[in-house]
Structure 1
Amino acid sequence: MLCLSLLIVVMANTALIVAAPDMTRDLGLDSSRLQWVIDGYTVPYAALMLVLGAVGDKYSRRGGLVAGLLVFAAGSVLGSQVHSANAVIAARAVMGVGAAVIMPATLSLLVATFPRSERARAVTAWTATSGLAIAVGPLVAGWLLRDHAWGATFLINVPVALAAVVAALFLVPPSRAAGRGRLDLVGGLLSIVTVGCLVYAIIESPHFGWGTGPVTAAVVAGAGLVAFLLWEVRHPRPIVNVRLFRDRAFSGSMLAVLLFFLGTFGAIYYATQHLQFVLGYAPLATGVRLLPLAGAVFAGAALTGVLTPRLGTKVTVSAGMAIGTAGVLLLTRIGDGSTYTDFLAPFLLLGFAIGLSVSPCTDTIMGLFPESELGVGGGLNDTALELGGSLGIAILGSLLATTYRDKLTSAVGRQLPPEALHTARDSVGGALAVAEKVAASPAGGPAQARQLVAAAHHSFAQAVAHTSLIGGIVMAVGTVAVALILPRRLKA
């Protein structure tokens, strides 16, 4: 049941990726608005997890899970019924609030329910579920998009959420921290401001540059972080024991989780676009082609239960990060003649790396928190996960868009009117839409349309290769950092 709840939280993002082309056409989204449709979920999700995890610890983890599932289902119903970009973003934000309750609740309930001897296996199943959701989301969404509009992809979550609510009420024992004391409301507020402004700055800066909005958000995030650290160090019952970051096992595991999802979500974001816009796969076919990634997650998760006790967390996590780095770097081979086969090995390596290494990191993080703070521990783990995904989509997505724009401008800059050129440069989907108009135009014709399509495909393939190189370098540096930070032996 806990894994079922986790499944819909992760599916909410991955299902939307394959629905993005239909939403772009129907709602007239440019790349910035599309980014906010995706990340409108992320801001409240990342900002509220830590605080809502602490609330669940104090009052009721099971009650928090049920409430989060109901809010999530309500946001999903709202998203299926609206017909404007702003309304979709608002619905996604409601879903993000629900997810911010669900994620730390699932992890804290899991750790509180299973004894220490069985916890590693339970966390491994939790991690494998997130990998399954990466592939199941696009697969189910693609199946629905064959006969229904994009609004149907929101409704995937509703029956699953309601089933999880019923199961939680009957199967999950009540759980709350004993003697939690008063909540650190000031620390909680500072954490919301810090993480919320940081995520906002990450999302906005690639589209608008470091102008007034992103700079202000980044400054507020920095000031909020300093204030949060000073407050937490002096508070007798802080919402987070910030001294934990001195523990090399904790800080190394947090960094590894962040980097894993930076590379994975960033790569899936642009690889999925390539499969749809360049190789021409329908949403369902795209979802089917992501299934090997989910299978590789399960293979890695099965192996980590054998390797981690024998080799230790440091070796297992470092090896997994190296494998994930290799998966991202393999995408640098993408070019004009690339087929799905060129994506298969990267998908397998990325999935295997997640299954092998994220579970030991999560188990290490949760093991450092007492029973009274399991929701906070889950919130911190999930914040690192979500920040990594946000950074991957925002930074690598921005780099992809910039490279694509420059390449396409060089190829067709003088052949299109300014307005058409602006649309074509905005995204590869925009270029294909312009090509359809050019083909039907007396001034253009099919030959010019084919040239534009070829130029867009070439530019996007070059952008994928360039972005993968930068992403691979970031992950390689992170792999070395994690290997140096993690201790050889973990403390009991």
Structure 2
Amino acid sequence: MPLLADTPAEKMTAPYPRRWWALLVLCLSLLIVVMANTSLIVAAPDMTKDLGLTSSDLQWVVDGYTVPYAALMLVLGAIGDKYSRRGALILGLLIFAGGSVMGGMVDETTLVITARAIMGIGAAVVMPATLSLLVAIFPRRERAKAITAWSATSGLAIAAGPLAAGWLLESHAWGSTFLINVPIAVLGVVGALLLVPPSKAERMGAIDYVGGLLSIVSIGSLVYAAIEGPHFGWGTGPITAAVVAGVGLLAFVAWELRHPNPMLDVRKFRERPFSGSMLAVLFFFFGTFGSIYYATQFLQFVLGFSALETGVRLLPLAGAVFAGAAVTGRLAPKLGVKLVVGTGMALGTVGVLLLTRIESGSTYTDFLAPLLLLGFAIGLSLSPATDTIMGSFPESELGVGGGANDTALELGGALGIAVLGSLLATSYKDKLTDLVGGHLPAAAMDTAQDSVGGGLAVAQQVAKTPDGGVRQAQALIDAVHESFAHAIAQTSLVGAVIMAAGTMIVIAVLPGRKATVKPGDDDPVAEADRDEEYAESAQR
């Protein structure tokens, strides 16, 4: 494939001819890095049993991926802009594949967490590269469609991860959920070499590595504090991390305001379309990831579905994502970002609120409407918000733009799982104590209070005891189910309140349609000028 950089800008009047095939490669790359998080939801019970994971161990198997993923995206996006966006995509896929091989082969908790961290580093390279390449490849008039496909892929991965993991776990060990990433990553590398054009920013100054380091420290510390504090108590570690995050953030802002070529121009947060869209992505994934985190546990532990059966029952969410994406492609250009994103967030809030009706006798049907609403809301809201964020950055900062968007997404998801997961655990523990307190030995009670899985494991042991063990075990199972359903209802109420507050904030911040339409947006001459700018940027 000839390098686009070898093509004179004045001769390149048409868009890159294989851009839609390139988009397929970008979406495939995005799919596996998002699936790496969602597939673990259904693989966690097998991993816990096989490795003997404690609650803290399991949390870090999950978040060993999340912390580097969230902390490094901004910096690695800028490095991709500077040197090679396609090269960053390929390198990230190779790192991700290496971590996946390690995760699939080891059988020690520390090594699994290390493998997940390596995968997180690879994902932090891949995810901003997919967005920056997409914007560089597609002309403005087609970009909204391309970003809609990218956004729908993110939603698809939420359901596809548990489905793929469930299918593998039917006949393979949990390590297969790591190894399945390898052939897909290799396919992505080959596709990138054949179909994705080389691209990098021109006229980009030196990288602001000091600002980059401050962003890594700030975001990494914030995610660590958000994970550790709610789940395991605000001891010295989480409090120190929170202080470091606060000081680091202030230092980052002060440095970026003074630097002639900042890593991220923090003045962009004064722009209402940008800041409103960033808040929308953060709040939306806070509620969505947190809700799916405990909904899948109810399907597995209370309703007794296998990993595969759980994955199948998440498919309506994926279908609703595509329906929302199809609708937003028609509505957003006509109604504007504020109305479409605000409506999507409101629908997502209703979806979370419906989970407050869950009780111990609930069935899958009670989860269907919330899943459909959350999926439709993702498809409706994410694309216009992401398009607005990426449109706020010049061609030389597309990787930084992708990193900013993806950091908001990942930070929102991490906070949702950490904060709502912590509320869930506390509510479950308190309710179980009320129902069972004093009827179990202290050690067994501690295990039962740790998680719904722990409670059911204790019930299995009680069933093996003589003199009425089966009856006592059933009573404990009923108590565990009731406690977990109660915890979901209480947690969902808090989640819905936070989502509702976020929706109102986003609606207040985002400007109306007239304020976001720039002069010449509907002018064909202006559109032609933008396409010429696109041609010049794409050939770089």
Q: TM-score when scaled to structure 1?
A: 0.99
Is 1:289 the counterpart of 2:289? The answer is: no
Moved over 2 A (4+): none
Amino acid at match of 1:399: L
% same residue: 73
2:538 match: none
- Show the counterpart of 2:351: 327
Show CA shifts across 1:230-256 (max 9, x none).
000000000111000000100000000
Residue identity in the other structure for 2:100 = S
Residues 231, 421 of structure 2: 8 Å contact kept:
no
Letter in 2 for 1:408: L
Matched, 1:26 2:65: no
Which of the numbers 67, 91, 105 marks the counterpart of 2:91?
67
State the one-letter code of the partner of 1:347. L
2: CA distance between counterparts of 1:276 and 1:156? 22
Mapped partners of 2:194, 2:386: distance in 1: 27
Q: Does 1:155 align with 2:179?
A: yes
Q: Any gaps of 5 or more consecutive residues in structure 1? A: none
Map of 1:62-461 to 2, 5 A cutoff? Answer: 62-442=86-466, 445-461=469-485
Q: State the aligned residue count.
A: 492
Distance in 1 (alpha carbons) for counterparts of 2:451 and 2:53: 10
Which stretch of the first structure deviates more once superposed, 250-259 or 22-31?
22-31
Deviation at 1:383?
A: 0.1
- Deviation (angstroms), 1:153: 0.6
Distance 2:419 2:111 in 1: 25
Distance, in Å, in 1 between the alignment partners of 2:27 and 2:98 is 20
How far did 1:413 drift?
1.3
- The structure that has the greater radius of gyration is 2
Separation (CA, whole Å) in 1 of partners of 2:451 and 2:56: 10
Q: CA RMSD of the aligned region, Å?
A: 0.7
Q: Partner letter of residue 221 of structure 1? A: A
Q: How far is 1:46 from its partner?
A: 0.4
Distance in 2 (CA, whole Å) between partners of 1:213 and 1:87 is: 22
Q: CA deviation at 1:442?
A: 2.5
- Provide the C-alpha distance between the structure 1 equivalents of 2:184 and 2:365, rounded to a whole number of angstroms: 33
**Deviation readout 1:116-158 (Å, 9 max, x if unpaired):** 0000000000000011111111111101101111111111211
1:383-420 per-position Cα deviation (integer Å, ceiling 9, x unaligned):
00000000000000000000000001111111100000
Asked if the contact 1:70–1:161 (Cα under 8 Å) also holds between the matched residues in 2, the reply is yes
Q: Distance in 2 between matches of 1:424 and 1:83?
A: 25
C-alpha contact (below 8 Å) 1:438/1:444 kept by paired residues? no
- State the distance in 1 between where 2:397 and 2:413 align: 25
Instruction: Please say if 1:469 is aligned against 2:487.
Output: no
2:96/2:120 contact within 8 Å kept = yes
In the alignment, residue 69 of structure 1 is paired with which amino acid? Answer: L
| SS at structure 2 position matched to 1:9 | helix
Deviation at 1:443, TM superposition (A): 5.8
Between 121-130 and 78-87, report the one with greater CA deviation. Answer: 78-87
Letter in 1 for 2:250: V
2-side partners of 1:29 and 1:464: how far apart? 23
- Measure the CA separation in 1 of the matches of 2:118 and 2:467: 47
1:175-233, CA deviations, whole angstroms, 9 ceiling, x for partnerless residues? 00001121101000000000000000001002221110000000000000000000000
* Alignment-mate amino acid for residue 119 of structure 1: R
Q: 2 CA distance for matches of 1:277 and 1:16?
A: 15
Cα distance between partner residues in 2 of 1:278 and 1:227: 47
For the 8 Å contact 1:318–1:479, the answer to whether it is kept is yes
Specify the code of the residue in structure 1 equivalent to 2:306.
A
Query: How far does the alpha carbon of each residue in 1:416-445 deviate from its partner, in whole angstroms, 9 at most, with x for none?
Result: 000000000000100111111111122661
The letter of the residue matching 1:293 is L
| Residue 29 of structure 1, CA deviation | 1.6
Q: Does 1:49 align with 2:73?
A: yes
Structure 2 distance, partners of 1:241, 1:165, is: 32
Matched, 1:36 2:60: yes
**Separation in 1 of the partners of 2:337 and 2:55?**
40
Q: Which amino acid aligns with 1:188?
A: G
Which residue identity lines up with residue 124 of structure 2 in the other structure?
A
Partner of 1:481 in structure 2? 505
Asked whether the equivalents of residues 263 and 475 of structure 1 are also in contact (C-alpha less than 8 Å), the reply is yes
Is the CA contact (8 Å cut-off) linking 2:352 and 2:495 kept in structure 1? yes
Q: Equivalent residue of 2:443, what SS? A: helix
**Counterpart contact for 2:51–2:108, Cα < 8 Å:** yes
Q: 1:117 and 1:208 mapped to 2: Cα distance?
A: 49
Hey, what's the Cα distance between the residues in 2 that align with 1:192 and 1:442? Answer: 56
Equivalent residue letter for 1:302 = A
Instruction: Tell me if 1:3 matches 2:27.
Output: yes
Secondary structure of 1:281 counterpart: coil
CA deviation string 1:314-367 (max 9, x = no partner): 000000000000000000000021000000000000000000011000000000
